[in-house]
């Protein structure tokens, strides 16, 4: 059966650390890690993202929003600020000052006793 035309949700194949397969029940897509770098994938939460080296080390690659990594949260907060700044530059409107997202502290490293 050929692979379906959709954005794949990947899972590493057990016993083959360089091979990933799509978890969709009707899809037979299998690909190697080297060919997947920079390709679009679908997270278990439904959001689409691009695969990078960090995600290809995981058994189930996922988006940055589903990650628990502090570095990823800081990077996403920085990218949000940059995106807002770019929109402000492009639209050239008088808008309020840009602020960091207040929903999380980018320097909160969780439990300090570790």
Q: What is the pLDDT of residues 45-93, one digit of tens each?
A: 888 888 888 888 888 888 877 776 655 556 666 666 777 777 777 666 5
Whether the Cβ atoms of residue 45 and residue 63 lie closer than 8 Å to each other:
yes
pLDDT recorded at residue 64? 78
- For residue 5, what pLDDT band results from cuts at 50, 70 and 90? confident
3-state helix, strand, coil in the chain (%, to 5): 30, 15, 60
Instruction: Look up the pTM and report it.
Output: 0.54
């Amino acid at each position: 059966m050929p692979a379906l035309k959709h954005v794949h949700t990947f899972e590493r194949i057990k016993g083959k650390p360089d091979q990933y397969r799509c978890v969709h029940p009707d899809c037979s897509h299998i690909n190697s890690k080297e060919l997947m770098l920079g390709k679009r994938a679908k997270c278990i939460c439904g959001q689409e993202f691009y695969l990078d080296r960090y995600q290809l080390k995981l058994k189930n690659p996922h988006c940055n929003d589903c990650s628990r990594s502090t570095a990823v949260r800081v990077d996403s907060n920085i990218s949000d600020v940059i995106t807002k700044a770019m929109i402000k530059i492009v639209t050239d409107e008088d808008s309020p000052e840009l602020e960091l997202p207040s929903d999380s502290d980018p320097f909160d490293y969780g439990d300090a006793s570790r």
